[in-house]
Amino acid sequence: MDAKRRITEHLDLDLQNERWACNRCGADLGHARESYKRGCLIAARDPREVHPSIVDRAKEEYTFAPDPDWCRIVEFYCPDCGTLMETEYLPPGHPLTYDIELDIDALKRKHGAQGVAP
């Protein structure tokens, strides 16, 4: 049985070893009962860098970047291959989100992985 399962576009779960992994390069991103983000490289970006203001006076259209006093962009990268795993828009000071929590024991039973808890 293949113990690896695709969880997101760039994230795999190794059920047998209970580990997160980058599905591009196989880099270990930590224990699957914790957030995979702990195993990633993290970059905090100024929203003005990502969303530059655009002023089109001819059409009278104005688009402004999010205010960095109210919003930060946090990017999570694979530490080995640099694949962008996830992006979050958060208010400054807000803790990183814990966005994926799986019932690993149920997945092991469903997929027949070794080492199932009793």
**What confidence tens digit (pLDDT) does each residue in 41-92 have?**
999 999 988 887 777 677 777 777 888 899 999 999 999 999 999 999 999 9
Residues in the chain: 118
Which residues in the chain belong to E strands, given as ranges? Answer: 4-6, 11-14, 19-22, 28-31, 41-45, 54-56, 61-63, 72-77, 84-90
Residue 49 lies in a domain: yes
| Domain-embedded: residue 118 | no
97 is a domain residue:
no
Q: State residue 117's pLDDT score.
A: 46
Distances (CA, A) of 12 to 26, 28, 49, 104: 8, 10, 30, 13
Query: Is 26 within a domain?
Result: yes
Structure tokens at 81: 């291959």
Q: Is the pLDDT of residue 116 over 60?
A: no
Residue 53, helix vs strand vs coil: coil
Per-residue pLDDT, 63: 76
Q: Is 116 among the domain residues? A: no
Residue 13 structural domain: 4-92+102-111
Q: What is the pTM of this model?
A: 0.82
Q: Looking at the domain assignment, is residue 56 inside a domain?
A: yes
How many domains does the chain contain in total? 1
CA–CA separation, 19 vs 34, rounded Å?
A: 9
Token pair 């997929």 is found at: 111
